[in-house]
Structure formats: structure tokens, C-alpha cells
Amino acid sequence: MILNIEVNRIDHIGIAVKSIEDSMKLYSDLLNLEKEGIEELEERGLRVHIFKVGETKFELLEPTREDSEISKFLEKKGEGIHHIALNVDNIETAFERAKDMGFRIIGDTIQRGAGGRRIFFLHPKDTGGILIEFVEGGRENE
Ligand code: ZN
């Protein structure tokens, strides 16, 4: 039996930035968003700053190495929206459903993302150019 995906909400919007310091003027000084935390994703060459925006979040993604995925993105496209993440309760269901429907999945597997939550990405060639992430589980600490 194939179960349908149930999307709870937009979990976060990932934004590629050259420098988190330089982004503070907008996100912190002007918008006055509450900072939820900073995370180093060493193996992906990323530093992530998370700001709360009501029910959802902005994740500012800053590269820490020249060979990180965000460095490549910045080179090709410049700063801007990198991905949109959808929150689901059951990541396996989402993964199986997407695969069954022929969507390509980056790395072809479920991975660990920020906060240790399970994630996967649909290939933007199959989604009209939008990098869509699925994230499992609820709020922080769940
Ligand atoms: Zn994300």
C-alpha cells in the first residue's frame, strides 16, 4: 500500500549567504528575528544560523570550505534562496512515495541534517528548479 505524504508546514527556508556577519543587518537588526542557534556541519563544510519566523525558520547557510555545496551554489547563482524544507511526520513514507513516483533523490538516501533530524532532498531537475528538502519530526528537542 502506498501512503500519501502529509506535509505539516514549511519547516524552514534555506538561504545561501557569503557571510553570516554581513547578513545580521537584515535578519537581526532590521527584522529583529530571534536567533535559535548556530550549528557547524563539519562534513558538509557549512555553518548554519537559525532564525525563528513564527512557525517556520530561516536557515542561513554559510560555507566554511571552498569545496562545500554552498560554495558551489554561491559561485553559480550568488546569494539567495537555496532550498525549501517541508516538515513531515514520517520520512520513510515521503521517501518511498517520492521514489515510487520517479522523483530523483539526492544521494538516493535519507541523511542527517541540522539538529540531527532525518532529511532528504528531491533533485531540482524533477521539481521545476526548486531544491525541496523533507524534514522529519517536530520542533527542536523532539
Ligand atoms: Zn534545510
CATH number for the domain harbouring residue 47: 3.10.180.10
- Amino acid 44: pLDDT: 85
- Amino acid 139: pLDDT: 53
Distance from residue 134's CA to the centre of ligand 1 (Å): 8
pLDDT band at 2; cut points 50, 70, 90: low
Give the 3-state secondary structure of residue 71.
helix
Distance from residue 108's CA to the centre of ligand 1 (Å): 17
Q: Closest Cα to residue 88, out of 45, 51, 117? A: 117
Task: Determine, yes or no, domain membership for 121.
Answer: yes
Distance from residue 17's CA to the centre of ligand 1 (Å): 14
* Residue 31 main-chain phi, psi, to 5 deg: -85, -20
What total number of domains does the chain contain? 1
Distance from residue 88's CA to the centre of ligand 1 (Å): 13
Range of the domain at 45: 7-136
Task: Determine, yes or no, domain membership for 2.
Answer: no
Task: Determine, yes or no, domain membership for 141.
Answer: no
Task: Determine, yes or no, domain membership for 1.
Answer: no
Distance from residue 65's CA to the centre of ligand 1 (Å): 18
Quick: pLDDT tens for 58-88: 999 999 999 999 999 999 999 999 999 999 9
* Single pTM value for the model: 0.90
